Amino acid sequence: MKYYLLCLFSVITYCTSVAQNHIADSLEAVVKTQQDDSNKVNTLNLLSKNQWGTGKYGPALANATSAKTLAEKLGYNTGLAGALKNGAIIYWYQGNYPLALDYDFKALDINKKLNNKKGIASCLGNIGIIYDEQGSYDKAMDYYNQSLSIYQSIGEKNGIAGVVNAIGVVYREQKNYAKAREYYEKAMTIDSELGNKDGIARILGNIGNIYSDENNEKKAVEFGLKALAIYRETGNRNGIALNLGNIGDSYYKQKSFITAKSYLDSALAISKEIGNVEVIRDVYGALSLLDSAKNDFNAALKDYKEYIIYRDSLINDANTKKTVQTEMNFEFSQKQAAEKAEQDKKDAIAEQGRNKQKVIRNSFIAGFILMIALAFFIFRGLQQKQKANLIITRQKEEVEQQKQLVEQQKTIVEEKNKDITDSIHYASRIQRALLTTDEYIGKHLNEYFILFKPRDIVSGDFYWSYTTPQGAVHIACCDCTGHGVPGAFMSLLNISMLNESVIERGITTPDMVLNGIRTNIIKALNPKGLDTESKDGMDCSYCVFDMKHSTIQVACANNPVWIVRNGTQSVEEIAPDKMPVGIQYGTEKPFTLHTVKLNKGDCIYMFTDGYADQFGGPKGKKFKYKTLQEKLIAISHKPLADQKQILENTIQNWKGDLEQVDDILVIGIRI
């Protein structure tokens, strides 16, 4: 049924229904005594927020409209932005998305002019919700991320929790339940710290929805009842209606029809009372399915008709408003064009008459003047021709001199370019000499491949390997900041640090290797510890193979490691830490150590982002990680030498005539 996006629009006071009503009564009494000034606008906005927070949409909209009218009259933009935001929230609850979006964009424009960051973030989040409701997930995520960035910059935890929850909802709608739970847990941590009861209830309901999607209806009911209890405590009638409907839907799926109908009837009654059209629609849809399951087809048909009515009201209202607006704009422009054409025609006729009189009057004068002018221009033309010939001769000489100068400069540029290119080629030989040789790797690994395709002559991607005296095989697949010459310099620095950490200092675990290199990079590139200095570093997947015990230890910085088990058609992913080996924003955390048991025939794949990010194909789009994963699964049973050739042919065919956008590095190892 309904997704839980509540409480992102605005922070609601967490109190009981009785207390909410008391606050509303107090605010109504204050409004009656106030003059028409900015204080009255603020009070009307507070009253509207209190009323829509408890599901009283009619009074809430009336007070928001009064606040909007008075604020426009006073030129009080702060109050106007608040009134528009309240109106947008109410229209959203009532399913009027076009008007809600219109109000949100107007409020956003005002808040930008006022430089009200909290207001800007709130409006961006509201706009994201509306796009989310319409299934435009990319637009929704774009607005959510903008909103989250602003909330984080000003430390607004209530706003952060709301946006993080909304992002979780998008992931749930896309059936990425792991990411959805991750974001819900982040939001729950913040709401728990703040004591935000409505926020906690919202997340509990969202988690219940995930369990329902996973057909674990008992857990769905358990979490739904927890959320319902909190919403009843705070008096949040929208939350009550939503949870009653979701709980009823879960009982229906468990074939507990009597209990399901009780909850659905309660949800319908409350949602009709507060006018939440979307919940009414969803409950009628659930009741129709319930009646069909009970073989009560007359009731099922009746409920389904109601569902269609409310569904169409949402769709048709939105489409009608958009159509009417488009038609009005078109008719207005057509009318303006027609009136202008008619006036231009009249002006042309009048001008034609005036011009005719002028022609008759001026013809004689013009003829006489023309004769005099003709004689003058013939004489003057002869003089100008002589001057022009002289100028052309001089210009020809200047062009010839400039041509010689250009030829000389071209020769100089070509010589410089050759010197630079020769230097880069020599640097490439140095860089490749520092890469671990195939002969060395082949002594310690039975079957492997390395697909290495620099974008330029030198590369920011590199691979490195070392086998300890105890027989542990270290493999690193790295992507330094940049490519070409800057990336190559970074790769040489990082190879040197790997040698120092593993060979000289004897560090044996991948996480400690990456932690140490990160410290050294920061010391080398940002010795003063300033945010304005270099943010260079590298992304890296680092594996240590223990062939005797068939295990692998892994640490990943931004790039994952994939394992295709022998005889399976799925990938086991070792997820990376979302941070580079280098300077980063935020708190510095240690890298995670993963230990995985391996079986004979398993294939381990390490890679940088160059393969997946290559543009090409019939539409010129990225290759993407999902496509790379499918390709690796399909070829994992083949010899690794064949796999390398297949991958190289695939990316070359995909790229076609387009340029290579980044360095490419893919490593495959079979146990």
Strand, coil or helix: 557: strand
Contact 313, 95 (CB under 8 A): yes
Interval 302-324: pLDDT, tens: 888 888 888 776 655 544 344 23
In this structure, what DSSP letter does residue 437 have?
P
The CB density around residue 181, as the number of other CB atoms within 10 Å, is 16
Arithmetic mean of pLDDT, 370-393: 73
- 265, β-bridge pairs: none
Please write the tens of the pLDDT for every residue from 417-475.
676 666 677 667 777 778 999 899 999 898 999 999 999 888 899 999 999 999 999 99
Give the 3-state secondary structure of residue 608: coil
Q: What are phi and psi of 449, to 5 degrees?
A: -145, 155
Q: Which of 98-107, 447-456, 479-488, 512-521 has the lowest mean pLDDT?
A: 479-488
| Burial annotation 276-306 (CB, 10 A radius, 16+ → b, else e) | bbbbbbbbbbbbbbbbeebeeeeebeebbeb
The two counts, helices (H) then strands (E), for the chain are 20, 13
State the pLDDT at residue 511: 96
Tokens of 626: 């999902």
- Residue 65 burial class via C-beta count within 10 angstroms: exposed 0-12, middle 13-18, buried 19 and up: middle
Residues 666, 648: Cα–Cα separation, whole Å: 10
Task: Please state, for a pLDDT cut of 70, what percent of the chain lies above it.
Answer: 87
- Class assignment of domain 438-670? alpha beta
DSSP 3-state percent helix, strand, coil across the chain (nearest 5): 65, 10, 20
**Cβ(166)–Cβ(132) under 8 Å?**
yes
Contact, 560 vs 573, CB < 8 A?
Answer: yes
Sequence ranges of the domains in the chain: 438-670
Q: Left, alpha or beta for 613 (phi > 0: left; psi -120 to 50: alpha)?
A: alpha
Its pTM stands at 0.46
- Tell me: pLDDT of 501 over 90: yes
**In sequence order, what are the beta bridge partners of 562?**
573, 605
If you search the block for the tokens 């009709």, which residue do you land on? 272
